[in-house]
C-alpha cells in the first residue's frame, strides 16, 4: 500500500483527497436522504458496501421512496451502472493480472477512478492511481454514509443542503484539464463531450433517471476513426 502513495506525485494525491472529500459529502447526503425518507439505517449502509455506486444507489433509493417495486429499483441501478462496462475495458490494465485483484478492482470501479487512470499513460502510475482512488473512495464513501444515516432523522430537507452538486462538480474539474490540450485527439474528445452532454440534457426531462447518462455515450460516435486513420466527420 505504501508503494502506491510513493508512485503518485503530490498533485495527484491532493486531487484524490479532494475527490474523496467531495464524495464523502455526497455519501452523507445519500445516507441522510434514505433514512429521512423512511428506510432503516442499515439499508443505505449495506447497499453502499455491496453496491458501491453512488448514482445507482440514489436511483434505486429514489424508486423505492417514490413507491416503486424493488425489482424496478434494481433495474434503475443496473441501467445507470451500464456505463461502467466500457470504462472497465478502458482501464482494465490498471486492475492487475490476478483474478482477485480484478474482481476487487471491478467492485471499486468508479467514474473518478477511471478519470485518474486516463490522465496518465505510465502503467505503474495508472495502477497506483486506480487503487489509491478506489480504496480512498470506498473508505470515505462508506464512512460518510454511516454518519449520514445516523443523522438522517434529524435533518429536514436534505436537498436544501445542495450536497449532491459536489459529485458532478468534481467530475467536471477532473475532465476539463484533459480537454484544454491542443491536438487532434483532444479536439475529437471535446466534440464527443459537448455532443454527449447536449444529448443528455435534452433527454433529461423526458426519460427516467439513468437513461440520459447512457444516451450521452452517443457522443463517442464523433471519435470513431475510419480504417485509414482519419476521423469520421459529422455535420
Which pLDDT belongs to residue 166?
53
Which pLDDT belongs to residue 145?
94
Task: Give the pLDDT band of residue 3 (cuts 50, 70, 90).
Answer: low
Which pLDDT belongs to residue 228?
36
What proportion of the chain, given as a percentage, has pLDDT over 70? 73
Which pLDDT belongs to residue 158?
57
In this predicted model, what pLDDT tens digit does every residue of 159-213 receive, in sequence order? 555 555 555 665 566 566 666 666 656 677 777 778 888 888 888 788 765 567 6
What average pLDDT score do residues 127-149 get?
93
Any idea where the domains of the chain sit in the sequence? 2-162, 181-235
Which pLDDT belongs to residue 61?
84
What average pLDDT score do residues 150-154 get?
78
Which pLDDT belongs to residue 140?
95
In this predicted model, what pLDDT tens digit does every residue of 12-69 receive, in sequence order? 888 899 989 988 988 888 888 888 878 899 999 999 999 898 878 887 887 787 777 7
B/e letters for 96-129, b = 16+ CB within 10 Å, e = fewer, are eeeeeeeebbeebbbbbbbbbbbbbeeeebbbbb
> Between these two residues, 176 and 9, which has the higher pLDDT value?
9
Average pLDDT, the chain: 77
- Mean pLDDT: which of 109-113, 200-204, 220-224 is highest? 109-113
Q: Is the model's pTM score more than 0.95? A: no
Measured from the Cβ of residue 27, the count of other Cβ atoms closer than 10 Å reads: 28
Amino acid at each position: 500500500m505504501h508503494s502506491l502513495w510513493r508512485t503518485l506525485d503530490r498533485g495527484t494525491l491532493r486531487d484524490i483527497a479532494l475527490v474523496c472529500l467531495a464524495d464523502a459529502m455526497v455519501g452523507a447526503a445519500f445516507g441522510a436522504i434514505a433514512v429521512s425518507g423512511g428506510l432503516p439505517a442499515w439499508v443505505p449502509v449495506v447497499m453502499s458496501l455491496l453496491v458501491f455506486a453512488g448514482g445507482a444507489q440514489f436511483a434505486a433509493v429514489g424508486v423505492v421512496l417514490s413507491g416503486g417495486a424493488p425489482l424496478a429499483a434494481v433495474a434503475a441501478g443496473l441501467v445507470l451502472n451500464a456505463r461502467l462496462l466500457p470504462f472497465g475495458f478502458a482501464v482494465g490494465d490498471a486492475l492487475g493480472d490476478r483474478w482477485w485483484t480484478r474482481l476487487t478492482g471491478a467492485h471499486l470501479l468508479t467514474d473518478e477512478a477511471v478519470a485518474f487512470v486516463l490522465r496518465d499513460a505510465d502503467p505503474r502510475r495508472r495502477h497506483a492511481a486506480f487503487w489509491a482512488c478506489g480504496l480512498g473512495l470506498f473508505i470515505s464513501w462508506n464512512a460518510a454514509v454511516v454518519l449520514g444515516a445516523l443523522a438522517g432523522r434529524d435533518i429536514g430537507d436534505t436537498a436544501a443542503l445542495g450536497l449532491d452538486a459536489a459529485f458532478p462538480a468534481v467530475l467536471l474539474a477532473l475532465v476539463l484539464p484533459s480537454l484544454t490540450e491542443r491536438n487532434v485527439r483532444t479536439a475529437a474528445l471535446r466534440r464527443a463531450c459537448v455532443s454527449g452532454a447536449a444529448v443528455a440534457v435534452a433527454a433529461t426531462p423526458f426519460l427516467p433517471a439513468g437513461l440520459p447518462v447512457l444516451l450521452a455515450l452517443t457522443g463517442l460516435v464523433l471519435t470513431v476513426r475510419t480504417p485509414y486513420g482519419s476521423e469520421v466527420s459529422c455535420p
